[in-house]
Amino acid sequence: MSIFQSLVKKEVLHLVRDFRTVTVVLVMPVVLLLLFGFAISTEVNNVRVVAVTDRHTDETRLIADRFRANPYFTFGGTVSYREAESLLRKGKADAAVVFRTEAGRLKLQIVTDASNTTMAQTSAAYIEGVANSSANAADKSAAAVVADTLYNPQLKSAYNFVPGIMGMIFILICAMMTSVSIVSEKESGTMNLLLVSPVRPRTIILGKLVPYFLLSCVILTLMLTLSYTVLEIPFSASVVHVVWVSILYVALALALGLLISAVASTQVSALLVSGVMFMLPVVLMSGMIFPVENMPLPLQWLSCIIPARWYISAMRVLMVQQLPVTYVLTEVAVLSGMTLAVLALAIKKFNAQKR
């Protein structure tokens, strides 16, 4: 058995023996995917809406009927303005539609409970849509708003989350696990034993990276299978590009892990650095939960240095829009550049440590 093989074997043994960690690492992506895909959704269901009107007309009645028929709404009937206010305050209604007739034309006002902003924004948009289409049907002269949702016609939140979760998981597994495993060898002193043996430092590094790379590939397969089957993301030829861009991202995350391990001297600091410096920004600023476009400009610029931002945006194009890879050349270029830069820095740091 070659030196490299025995290094890899040793690493695999560590992983297999640390059964709990491996279970967490394999189960967590699945749970996250299913959780975000099904249970936690930003889709708006059962918006409880009431109507307030000063005068019943055919038009208002038509709109009310539409709300009643629409599966997304639970229509609470027509109430007085004061009642609507109290229902909203008590949380018994999510939104109220106020009809007012001014100069013979029907005016609409939408009042929503904005204590949950996502809910409020989405339901306001829905209500507007329903009201407009009714108005459209009743009065051909009214300006029609035609909204058409491309790529994700059912507005499934899973489509939004799958790339984000993948962006997060790979940072977690590659950067965090690699750095902690290298640093733990520094802490226990075994790194010194490896370094005084004839094994070249680059072999030691490679022996660390390869097992985690393989583990990441397993997880990638697992996540893609789940996405295309259970979460019903439409399968297309672009999956090839999804795979290789993901592998590029995994390489970047591994390089980051290596860089962290060269800087950190204890497992705790490795965890903190990878957790605080990489995980949190990935969650907050990569566009996984909050769209990057809605952030203030300085934060948008800052988000550019976060690898996951580019990966997630590429994944959206490739997985959800299923466009060819030529549409994500910028992202791929940025990710490649980052990988090379981080790897060069990590190797430089790793060598500098010795002397």
Partner 1 sequence: MNAIEIRNVTKRYGKLVALDRVTFSVEEGTVFGLIGPDGAGKTTLHQILTTLLAPDEGTAAVAGLDVARDFRKLRTQIGYMPERFSLYPDLTVSENLHFFASLFGVDVKDNFDLIAPIFSQLSRFPDRMAGALSGGMKQKLALSCALIHRPKVLFLDEPTTGVDAVSRSEFWDMLPALKERGITILVSTSYMDEAERCERIALINKGKILDADTPERLVEGLGGNLYSASCGDMYPLLEALRRYPGVNDCYTFGAALHLVADEGFNPDEAARKLEQSGLAEVRIRPAKGNIEDLFIKLAKNDG
- Contact between 239 and partner 1 by CB under 8 A: the answer reads no
- Contact between 21 and partner 1 by CB under 8 A: the answer reads no
Single out the segment in contact with partner 1 by CB under 8 A; choices: 168-176, 187-195, 224-232, 284-292: 187-195
For the record, the structure tokens of 209 come out as 């990276």
Distances (CA, A) of 277 to 270, 281, 286: 10, 7, 13
Q: Which of 188, 221, 266, 330 binds partner 1 (CB under 8 A)?
A: 188
For the record, the structure tokens of 236 come out as 């297309």
- Contact between 351 and partner 1 by CB under 8 A: the answer reads no
> Are 255 and 339 in contact, with CB atoms under 8 Å apart?
yes
CA distance 335 to 314: 10
Size of the site for partner 1 (CB under 8 A): 22
- Contact between 3 and partner 1 by CB under 8 A: the answer reads yes
Query: DSSP H helical segments within the chain, as ranges?
Result: 3-17, 19-34, 58-69, 81-90, 117-138, 157-170, 178-188, 190-196, 201-228, 239-263, 267-272, 280-285, 297-303, 307-315, 329-354
Site track 135-174 with partner 1 (rule: CB under 8 A), x = hit: ----------------------------------------
- Contact between 189 and partner 1 by CB under 8 A: the answer reads yes
For the record, the structure tokens of 298 come out as 């300085």
- Contact between 43 and partner 1 by CB under 8 A: the answer reads no
194-223 residues near partner 1, rule: CB under 8 A: 194-199
- Contact between 23 and partner 1 by CB under 8 A: the answer reads no
CB of 278 to partner 1, least distance (A): 26
Residue 150 or 196 having the CB closest to partner 1: 196
Taking alpha carbons only, the member of 262, 295, 256 closest to residue 277 is 256
Q: DSSP letter at 144? A: P
- Contact between 18 and partner 1 by CB under 8 A: the answer reads yes
CB of 4 to partner 1, least distance (A): 10
- Contact between 1 and partner 1 by CB under 8 A: the answer reads yes
Consecutive H or E run containing 102: strand 95-102
Residue 17 or 90 having the CB closest to partner 1: 17
- Contact between 192 and partner 1 by CB under 8 A: the answer reads yes
Compute and round to an integer the Cα radius of gyration of the chain: 27
Contacting positions for partner 1 (CB under 8 A):
1-3, 6, 10, 13-14, 17-18, 188-190, 192-199, 354-355
